[in-house]
A and B are shown apart, each in its own frame.
Chain A
Amino acid sequence: MNPVYLIIIPLLSAFSIPLFGLISKKLVKFIPPLAMLFNAVYAILLIPQILKKPIVVLMGGYSLPFGINLFVGPLGIIFTGVIAIIGFIVSFYAINYIKEGDKEKYHMLYLLLLTGATGAVLTGDIFNLFVFCEILCISSFALVADLGDKRSIESSVKYLIQGSVGSGFMLLGIGLLYGQFGTLNMAHLAQIITEKYGAAQSIPIDLFIPFVFVIIGFGIEGSIFPLNAWLPDAHSSAPSTISAVLSGLAIEIGLYAIIRFVFTIFGITSILPALAILGLITLVIGEITAFAQANIKRMLAYSSIGQLGLIFFAISIGTSEAITGGLFQFLTHAFSKALLFLSVGYMIYRTKSMEISSFKGIGKKMPFASLAFLIGSFSLVGLPLFMGFSSKFIIVKSAILKNSTLFNILIMVVLLCTIIEGAYFFKVIQTIYFKKSNNIEIKKAPATAVIAFFILIIIIIGLGIYPNEVFKILQCGATELLDKSQYIRSVLG
């Protein structure tokens, strides 16, 4: 089995969409779910093999460290799997949801976005990482503007400007690294840095500058405060399917890149407490801002910022268990937020309004969408029997186990934020279920949407009750991050 297919198949299907469009316009919308279903199945089948030994694929036959390689370790396959599963569910949902506009372009860009995401997490080369990130970003710029109204174009341009600044930073950082160390291969870079600076007490400045540039560049994509100003606009004006993918997957790719740089390439753990505080600030700002939102999609977007902050915080604790918890929180957020955006998608579509107040009493008229919202928010708040509890439990436990005053205080702040989070989510639930409705005829969500909801609900409850198996895979991911020398060995031999 060759992991290259995980990138090639979606890429080829993306570009085949215009061709299929020539045959029949109706055929187009079935290609993304098929491609993603392939990816999901293929990724899951790869897991046992990868847990034994990471797969390294050389592209174009050049030997390392000169050629470009794919590194398919536990971390990569976790991300790929989640991207594929959510990509499949969302595209399945989109079969009925995407009705207006240029469908061919939408579906093609959608697949390109997911290809970019998959490529970014699988590659073993920093320039390649940059390229895949650009594929992801550029297709998401276009997709944010998909609705074509003034609002979405405005946010798309804002996103484009900030994203380009970010790309500039990334490229500068990568350039500085290449100039200094003469290599772009992650493992090779890591090896050289360890050899050169491994014994240094503080981070040398010629390492720190590229580090800052890279962090800023990917931090914009990963929406770390204060680099996340594009997110609320972009997420709220995109079509709901795209919001789900952007919130659930795209920003996590930025996060992936950052942790890859921090742990594997630079291997600087002394900066972790600062990153934890940064994550916490992101969490606090996100949750507090979400608290007073009247627009449901903006609320969810701010909540994504908060969740990202939490993941970032958890990973920055830096112990194996904490990283596992952070990765678990990534799963929780990806699935729950996708569910929330999808359920809200049809509510907005039917009521033609994004105001929370317009969802009064919609629980009776759209039972499945409302149930999906309920479960998604329960999971995000971290109630037991849902996935969110499993992850939050591990994060809290590992933060306390760290046994340092700083983290004890930080985790208290995290818990306080959970209260705020609970407050705004439960308020929406009440609006949906318990406020008098304004008697407009509203149709239920169609079958494709309901099936998508139920797949996600089953995943959320299933992982809430049986987290063990997934937890083990995530643990391997955490080990991969922490064990830098193992990474270098498995690539360079």
Chain B
Amino acid sequence: MIINILLIIAFGGAFLVYLAGKISGKLRNILSIIISLVILTLIVMLQGKEIEVNYFHFFNFPLMFRINVLSWFFALLISFLTTLSLIFSLNYMKGKENLDFYYLMLLLVNASMLAIVLSGDLLSFYIFWETMSWSTFLLISYNKGKAINAALKYIIMSIAGSLAMLLAIILIYIKFQSFDILFISTHINMSSQNFAILIFLLLSIGFGVKSAIVPLHAWLPDAHAEAPSPFSAILSGILIKMGIYGFLLLFYVILGLKILLSLNIWGIKLNYIFALLGAISVLVPSMIAIFQTDAKRVLAWSSIGQIGYIAIGITIGSSIGTAGGLFHLFSHTIFKALLFFSIAAVEYRTGTRDLNKLGGLMKKMPIVFIGCLISVLGLIGIPLTNGFVSKWLIYKALFLNQNYFLLFIALISTWAAILYGFKILHHIFLGQLSQEHIKVKKAPLGMQIPIMILSFLVLLFGIFPGLALKTINKLIVNIGFKSLSVNLFGIVSETGPLNIINIFAGLMAILLLIIIVFKLGKKKTNIKQDDNYAAGSYIPIDKYHFTSNFYAPLFGIIKPLLIDHIDNFYLWVANRIRSLSDKVRKIYCGNVNVYVIYIIGFAALLIILKIGLKLW
């Protein structure tokens, strides 16, 4: 019952908020926060429970909700992030038009994501999946202008993906006469290898589009960049992980570990192919991210890269790998949302997110700077941040699995992450303060709170990874893996434990060393932020940024390799259809004589086919 109530609040609340907005804006804002908090509390209360409810019959198919560790984990992330995003929106969206619509859609996306993870059968999974797709589409379009094309690209790819999914779901139903995920998972053994491969491929298209695995990523950079920023945080933080949730469901619940590892086409293992796609998703988009000048676009490409890590983690098929993938999913949700919030706060105050126009905001917006710093550290995977733990686990798993090639690619991509992470940090907060930004104020409190909470969490789970690893451990046991021995500071294993305390000690030692070296060196002099050394030449007052053309030498070498051919291919297909459409239109030429010829001709054709070819 509690799940039903939860979802009724989630969906009903969304519309209630919309109606409240017709009365007053304040009421709407308060109500939306209350609703999201109520949902969050209910989900926290559901911890550790396993409930199953039949809630409806669509045709004769029973639809059910089911909660277990896997869905609880995702539900918690969803509602937590939505709550923060709503708090952030209060300030960020103030004064914009159509706010009722904005809050309605935000809560609708939230509700449908919750319903997806709580779905116990594939049909309701699909139904809420589609609800999520179109409400996301409407929300991405919200910013108008460039956002319109971005949203269109999103929804077209999304429809394509979900139709593949529909096909798979119906195939499964015809095979097993049931949509119930648990029922299918217990009976999947009876199906043939080919059937499993077919299901695997079809569902992968559906989930792959949502989670933006290369080559299905083309919608993401535009959509993430153009969506309203608080929603970008949700989009990148949790919505694309719905695809990962789908993959987990497919790999470990529906197919199960044994079948997953046995699937192959002409001897090539499917899970390895998938991991390779993950690796490409890590490598190329991370490189592309370096060259972006729009801050949100950097983050968008980075999201594809990070999803790649998660994809690699969950497909290796080992306990540590899956735990790593899940932990990275969790970490990425936190630090990517934090990054989006930081950049949104900067955009809110300065009105731009063009990296080449910003700079030197460190002292103007200290909290945002610290938040951004911490999240970039998490992104890169510096010890004591949550990103370190997850990357450590993934590398470890690759190492143990002797996947040195993937390991190599993952490591290189971290290098790219350092470059773009530092680029963001530097271009926005370091360097010279632009003249027009001298009067920039601090971010409002409503924006600082989510930033502070998330920064705290990055460090908390970086220092005490055990807090999350315990749940993740339960989760991977639930989906059929061996248990890891987890303690508060990491995991214990015979092949090399993860212990944050040791790492902490090591770090402290290095830090001490650095301090000593610096103390021994020359005494530093303080220079004002706007006092720039320009080798005696005239400093233009409007903009003098050392960082334009930051990685110029690198540009020359790898940029030609990084054209997004896949995106171009999709655009080419769209153009072909358009020109085909123009050609087909000519059938209806407007001349009624020709039309009558069609009619007579068609009659003649049918009779000729009958007499000549003896058809029918």
Contacts and interface: CB of A to CB of B under 8 A. Distances in A.
Interface of A: 157-158, 161-162, 165-166, 169, 202-203, 205, 208-209, 212-213, 215-216, 220, 226-227, 229-230, 232-233, 268, 270-271, 274, 285, 288-289, 291-292, 364, 378, 381, 383-385, 389-390, 393-394, 396-397, 400-401, 411-412, 415, 418-420, 422-423, 426-427, 430, 433-436, 465, 467-468, 471
A279 to B, nearest CB: 14
B306 to A, nearest CB: 28
A396 B164 CA distance: 11
A364 B99 CA distance: 13
B599 A208 contact: no
Given A400-B171, A430-B151, A419 B159 contact: yes
A229 to B, nearest CB: 4
A426 B158 CA distance: 12
Contacts of B580: 288
Given A289-B585, A396-B166, A381 B59 contact: no
Interface in B36-85: 57-60
A390 B59 contact: yes
Contacts of B59: 390, 394, 467-468, 471
Given A385-B127, A385-B131, A436-B144, A423 B60 contact: no
B68 to A, nearest CB: 24
A229 B616 contact: no
Interface residues of B, number: 59
A419 B141 contact: no
The secondary-structure label for the interface of chain A is: helix
A418 B163 contact: yes
A426 B152 contact: yes
Interface in B142-165: 142, 144, 147-148, 151-152, 155-156, 159-160, 163
Contacts of A423: 152, 156
Task: List the 5 shortest-distance A-B pairs measured between CB atoms, nearest first.
Answer: A292-B581, A229-B595, A384-B127, A226-B598, A434-B141
B584 interface: yes
Given A226-B587, A232-B588, A435-B148, A205 B616 contact: no
Nearest to B161: A419
Contacts of A430: 141, 148, 151-152
A378 B138 CA distance: 12
The secondary-structure label for the interface of chain B is: helix
Contact of A434 (B130, B142, B155, B600): B142
A422 B127 contact: no
Nearest to B154: A426
A434 B580 CA distance: 27
B51 to A, nearest CB: 23
A162 B141 contact: no
27 contacts: A157-B592, A158-B592, A165-B600, A205-B611, A216-B599, A216-B602, A216-B603, A229-B595, A230-B595, A232-B588, A233-B590, A288-B581, A289-B581, A292-B581, A383-B131, A384-B130, A389-B130, A394-B59, A396-B170, A397-B173, A422-B156, A434-B141, A434-B142, A434-B151, A465-B58, A467-B58, A468-B57
A415 B141 contact: no
B577 interface: yes
Interface string B572-616: 000001101110110110101011101111110011001100111
B616 A202 contact: yes
Contact of A227 (B151, B166, B602): B602
A112 B570 CA distance: 49
A150 to B, nearest CB: 14
B335 interface: no
Contacts of A390: 59
Contacts of B155: 422, 426
Contacts of A385: 127, 130-131
B588 to A, nearest CB: 5
Given A292-B582, A412-B167, A430-B148, 15 more contacts: A202-B614, A212-B610, A216-B606, A229-B592, A233-B590, A383-B131, A384-B128, A394-B59, A396-B170, A418-B159, A434-B144, A434-B147, A465-B58, A467-B59, A471-B59
A423 B167 CA distance: 20
Contacts of A420: 577
A289 B584 contact: yes
A356 B534 CA distance: 55
B174 A397 contact: yes
A357 B374 CA distance: 46
B132 to A, nearest CB: 11
A290 to B, nearest CB: 8
B602 A226 contact: yes
Given A202-B614, A415-B167, A468-B60, A158 B595 contact: yes
B231 interface: no
B587 A419 contact: no
A393 to B, nearest CB: 8
B141 A433 contact: yes
A216 B596 CA distance: 12
Contacts of B57: 468
